[in-house]
């Protein structure tokens, strides 16, 4: 099917009403553009599981505390439409900021406020970030009224926030969490990776290696403590040298995000890592069963 490009959310909303009247299921993949194969994997999955697929392509200014970061965010609408189309999108919606936020640069009077989950880890590092995410997700879900909406585990805390607001505000939308797509050396794909210098790109491998090291340590000793795993992960990330500043490397309860202590339950925990590498904030996470292929974890 040929993907149609809409420049307004109103147009997409009208198209989605027609899809729903025809009894078609709608898969929705919200993105901030600069699409890569990670986004492509969400779109293809949505295409396999639904009659039509709507992809939104909107750099949401409300979730950026730092307006320099907003300006520096990569954009490539032509490339996005081509990738979305080849992955199976029906509609790509790239609305303008003023349609969604008529008062911008003043924030809208009404924002969706998420609660404690939005205050820790990424929420602590980026105050207001998750309320910005929750507000745009609510607006987009209201317009598209998807049968299923697809979000990446790559942004694990964001996925948890979206599950929370959906269950609180619009429980009829099914939220599907999708596995993280990685580069050949293990680095989690991210639109921000294009901002890494060649040296930072090498140092960035430390994040996925740290997740591998944690999985390996757990397999070697299932009684290993969360504290030991945290130290092992931090050491692996910081092996990237001076270019790397670690924000956190921590084993948490996968639903409450409470820090794990003592021996860990691999079915209920998640390892979260965030580091600033060469000035670029990178996130990764995995369960304790995670392993990189041997050649990835040992390559220079």
Tally of CB atoms within 10 A around 107: 15
Binding flag, residue 230, ligand AMP (CB under 6 A): no
Strands in the chain per DSSP E: 4-6, 26-31, 52-57, 91-93, 148-152, 174-178, 244-253, 269-277, 280-286
What is d(CA 293, CA 285) in angstroms, rounded to the nearest whole number?
16
Q: Minimum CB separation from ligand AMP for residue 41, in Å?
A: 6
Q: Minimum CB separation from ligand AMP for residue 141, in Å?
A: 13
Q: Minimum CB separation from ligand AMP for residue 131, in Å?
A: 16
Q: Is the CB of residue 54 less than 8 Å from the CB of residue 147?
A: no
What is d(CA 222, CA 110) in angstroms, rounded to the nearest whole number?
47
Binding flag, residue 134, ligand AMP (CB under 6 A): no
**Can you tell me which of 90, 190, 193, 236 binds ligand AMP, judged by CB under 6 A?**
190
Q: Give the interface segment with ligand AMP, choosing from 67-75, 147-155, 279-287, 288-296 (CB under 6 A).
A: 147-155
Give 177 or 225: the residue with its C-beta nearer to ligand AMP. 177
**Can you tell me which of 126, 129, 148, 154 binds ligand AMP, judged by CB under 6 A?**
154
Give 40 or 224: the residue with its C-beta nearer to ligand AMP. 40
Q: What is the DSSP string of 89-134?
A: -SEEE---HHHH-TTTTSPPS------GGGTSTHHHHSTTHHHHHH
Give 44 or 230: the residue with its C-beta nearer to ligand AMP. 44
List, in sequence order, the alpha helices (H) in 36-107: 37-49, 67-72, 77-87, 97-100
Q: Minimum CB separation from ligand AMP for residue 174, in Å?
A: 15
What is d(CA 75, CA 63) in angstroms, rounded to the nearest whole number?
16
Binding flag, residue 278, ligand AMP (CB under 6 A): no
**Can you tell me which of 151, 248, 257, 290 binds ligand AMP, judged by CB under 6 A?**
151
Q: Minimum CB separation from ligand AMP for residue 178, in Å?
A: 6
Q: Is the CB of residue 185 less than 8 Å from the CB of residue 205?
A: yes
Reply yes or no on whether 39 is catalytic: yes
Given the residues 36, 39, 129, 212, select the one marked as catalytic.
39
List the one residue out of 209, 210, 205, 188 whose CA is nearest residue 294: 209
Provide the 8-state DSSP code for 76.
-
Binding flag, residue 166, ligand AMP (CB under 6 A): no
Q: Is the CB of residue 77 less than 8 Å from the CB of residue 63?
A: no
Site for ligand AMP in 27-86 (CB under 6 A): 31-32, 38-39, 41-42
> Which residues are tagged catalytic?
39
Binding site residues, ligand AMP, CB under 6 A = 31-32, 38-39, 41-42, 151-152, 154-155, 178, 180-181, 188-191
């Amino acid at each position: 099917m040929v993907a149609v490009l809409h420049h307004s959310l109103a147009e997409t909303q009208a198209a989605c009403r027609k899809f729903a009247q025809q009894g078609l299921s709608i898969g929705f993949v919200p993105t901030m553009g600069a699409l890569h194969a990670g986004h492509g994997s969400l779109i293809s999955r949505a295409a396999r599981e639904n009659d039509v697929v709507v992809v939104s392509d909107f750099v949401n200014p409300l979730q950026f505390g730092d307006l320099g970061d907003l300006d520096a965010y990569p954009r490539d609408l032509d490339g996005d439409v081509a990738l979305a189309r080849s992955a199976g999108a029906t509609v790509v919606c790239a609305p303008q900021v003023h349609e969604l936020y008529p008062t911008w640069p003043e924030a809208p009077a009404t924002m969706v406020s998420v609660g404690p989950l939005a205050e820790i880890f990424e929420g602590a590092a980026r105050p207001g970030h998750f309320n910005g995410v929750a507000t745009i997700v609510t607006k987009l879900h209201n317009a598209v009224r998807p049968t299923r909406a697809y979000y990446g585990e790559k942004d694990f805390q964001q996925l948890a926030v979206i599950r929370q607001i959906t269950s609180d505000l619009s429980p009829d939308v099914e939220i599907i969490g999708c596995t993280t797509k990685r580069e050949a050396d293990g680095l989690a794909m991210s639109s921000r990776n294009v901002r890494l210098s060649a040296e930072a790109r090498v140092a960035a491998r430390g994040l996925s290696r740290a997740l591998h090291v944690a999985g390996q340590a757990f397999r070697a000793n299932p009684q290993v403590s969360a504290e030991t795993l945290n130290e092992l992960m931090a050491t692996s990330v910081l092996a990237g040298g001076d270019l790397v500043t670690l924000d956190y490397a921590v084993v948490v309860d996968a639903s409450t995000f409470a820090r794990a202590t003592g021996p860990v339950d691999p079915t209920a925990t998640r390892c979260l890592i965030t580091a600033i590498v060469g000035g670029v904030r990178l996130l990764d996470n995995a369960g304790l069963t995670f392993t990189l292929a041997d050649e990835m974890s040992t390559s220079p």
